[in-house]
């Protein structure tokens, strides 16, 4: 039976996403979703959609959506690629720029999907250790066939400055540098402004986090025209119509509603800072986050114990099996109510452990 499979399948170890419980009794702080619904304008576009149009294929080139996003970012629509969530966009970028190459640099602690893409597309990565939980951009200014970093990084939440990214690009003119900005709207510094000056940078974005649209599946890449053309060649050899009619419609309205984005991200940032303070007071090492989550470590108490204690109390957080981060937990930022409840229960956990 195994001969039915290609060699590709035989080398794969799939990504494992955070649990999506179906019963709704949990406070879900495990997949970095927004605690707030999407923009009311996006919802109203969906409610008033001409559903009979679903009989037709969607625009394969997402022209209107790309124009809207380009306009929001201050780039040209030729600089924008759209996909079925930023995971698909990342996969397409790995296939377009890195497939079959060796010495592609990435942090040794980062989004755990990157090594999975490496297996899928036969990429040999060189992992660069974090220093004091930080990505040090200078460490990536060495010979390489590509670079990917997440800014802010996951699951640490720690960001790097735009000046550091600029220096990284200057020192890597020969290779493509992917900057995964899934969490940038929560206080990170974006590299989008560098796209006009550097032909080797590709910035990956998503509506799943800051826009409260994880269920819609829309992600973007923003980069030089030639890089985007390469991405389109791969996309059009894979699936002509990756973004459905309703997703294109709602995404546009969400992007136009900049006020709502600012309101919800500001609330999440304020909640994050309050939560971080309380966790520090409880004795946790709380990494300095520019994302919608916190990475926390307790010197004395096993992360697995805390994870299970929280789960028994109907709170889901993320605990990774990677030994490098096995002593920490990633906590998505929910509403103030969610986070007070979370802090109360984790305080109880500390008591229970002692």
For residues 76-95, which are near a copy of itself according to CB under 8 A?
Answer: 84-85, 87-88, 91, 95
Per-residue contact flags (x/-) with a copy of itself for residues 25 to 44, judged by CB under 8 A? ---x--x-xxxxxx---xx-
Which of these, 236, 227, 191, lies nearest to 93 by C-alpha position? 227
Closest CA to 134 of 113, 156, 115, 119: 156
Residue-wise DSSP of 184-245 = GGGT---SGGGTTT-TTEEEEEESSSTTS-TTT--EEEEE-HHHHHHHHHHHTTT-S--S-H
In sequence order, the 6+-apart residues with CB closer than 8 A to the CB of 330 are 30, 32, 154, 155, 293, 294, 295, 317, 318, 319, 320
297 touches a copy of itself (CB under 8 A): no
Question: In this structure, how many other beta carbons lie within 10 angstroms of the beta carbon of residue 237?
Answer: 9
Binding residue for a copy of itself, selected from 66, 205, 217, 278, defined by CB under 8 A: 217
- Is residue 143 involved in binding a copy of itself (CB under 8 A)? no
Q: Distance between CA atoms of 67 and 259, rounded to whole angstroms?
A: 19
Edge-to-edge strand list for the sheet holding 293-297: 285-286, 293-297, 328-332
Q: How far is the CB of 268 from a copy of itself (least distance, A)?
A: 12
Partners of 81 in the β-ladder: 221
Q: How far is the CB of 243 from a copy of itself (least distance, A)?
A: 8
- 161-190 footprint of a copy of itself as x/- string (CB under 8 A): -------------xxx--------------
- Kindly tell me which of 197 and 302 has the beta carbon lying closer to a copy of itself: 197
- From 16-24, 147-155, 277-285, 292-300, give the range in contact with a copy of itself by CB under 8 A: 16-24
Q: Does residue number 215 form part of the binding site for a copy of itself (CB under 8 A)?
A: yes
Q: Which DSSP string corresponds to 103-150? A: -EEEESSS-TTHHHHHHHTT--EEEEPPBTTB--GGGG-SS-S-EEEE
Distances (CA, A) of 81 to 78, 168, 231, 232, 256: 8, 23, 7, 8, 18
The yes or no reply on residue 132 touching a copy of itself (CB under 8 A) is: no
Pick the stretch among 13-21, 185-193, 276-284, 307-315 that binds a copy of itself (CB under 8 A): 13-21
**Among the residue ranges 72-80, 96-104, 308-316, 322-330, the one whose residues contact a copy of itself (CB under 8 A):** 96-104
Minimum separation from the CB atom of position 87 to a copy of itself (A)? 5
Site membership for a copy of itself, residue 285 (CB under 8 A): no
* Number of residues in contact with a copy of itself under rule CB under 8 A: 89
CB of 3 vs a copy of itself, minimal distance in Å? 7
By CB under 8 A, the residues from 109 to 128 that bind a copy of itself are 116-117, 119-121
Distance CA 1, CA 94 (A): 30
CB 42 → a copy of itself: shortest distance, Å? 8
Interactions with a copy of itself, residue window 312-351 (CB under 8 A): none
Q: Report the site for a copy of itself in 225-254 (rule: CB under 8 A).
A: 226-227, 230, 232-247, 250
Helix and strand element counts for the chain (H, E)? 11, 12
| Contact between 293 and 331 (Cβ < 8 Å) | yes
- Contact flag: residue 192 with a copy of itself (CB under 8 A): no
Which residue, 214 or 296, has its beta carbon nearer to a copy of itself?
Answer: 214
Quick one: tokens of 161?
Answer: 């400055």
Query: Of residues 48-67, which lie at the interface with a copy of itself (CB under 8 A)?
Result: 49, 51-60, 63
Backbone φ and ψ of 58, nearest 5° = -75, 170
Is residue 212 near a copy of itself by the rule CB under 8 A?
Answer: yes
């Amino acid at each position: 039976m195994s001969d039915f499979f290609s060699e590709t399948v035989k080398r794969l170890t799939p990504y494992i996403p955070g649990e999506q419980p179906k019963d709704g009794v949990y406070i879900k702080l495990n997949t970095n979703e927004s605690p707030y619904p999407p923009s009311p304008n996006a919802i109203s576009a969906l409610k008033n959609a001409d559903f009979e149009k679903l009989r037709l294929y969607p625009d394969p080139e997402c022209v209107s959506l790309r124009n809207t996003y380009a306009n929001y970012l201050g780039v040209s629509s030729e600089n924008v690629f759209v996909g079925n969530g930023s995971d698909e966009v990342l996969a397409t970028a790995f296939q377009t720029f890195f497939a079959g190459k060796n010495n592609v640099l990435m942090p040794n602690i980062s989004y755990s999907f990157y090594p999975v893409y490496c297996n899928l597309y036969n990429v040999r990565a060189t992992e660069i250790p974090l220093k004091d939980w930080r990505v040090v951009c200078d460490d990536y200014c060495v010979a390489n066939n590509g670079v990917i970093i997440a800014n802010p990084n996951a699951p640490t939440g720690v960001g790097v400055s735009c000046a550091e990214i600029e220096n990284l690009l200057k020192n890597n003119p020969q290779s493509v540098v992917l900057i995964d900005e899934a969490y940038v709207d929560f206080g990170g510094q974006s590299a989008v402004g560098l796209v006009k000056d550097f032909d080797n940078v590709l910035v990956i974005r998503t509506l799943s986090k800051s826009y409260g649209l994880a269920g819609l599946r829309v992600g973007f890449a923003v980069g030089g025209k030639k890089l985007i053309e390469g991405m389109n060649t791969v996309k059009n050899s894979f699936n002509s119509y990756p973004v459905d009619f309703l997703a294109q419609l709602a995404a546009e309205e969400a992007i136009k509603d900049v006020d709502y984005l600012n309101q919800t991200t500001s609330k999440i940032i304020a909640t994050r800072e309050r939560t971080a303070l309380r966790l520090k007071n409880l004795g946790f090492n709380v990494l300095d986050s520019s994302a919608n989550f916190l990475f926390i470590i307790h010197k004395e108490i096993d992360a697995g114990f805390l994870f299970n204690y929280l789960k028994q109390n109907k709170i889901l957080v993320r605990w990774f099996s990677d030994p490098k981060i096995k002593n920490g937990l990633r906590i998505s930022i929910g509403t103030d109510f969610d986070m007070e409840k979370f802090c109360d229960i984790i305080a109880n956990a500390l008591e229970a452990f002692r």
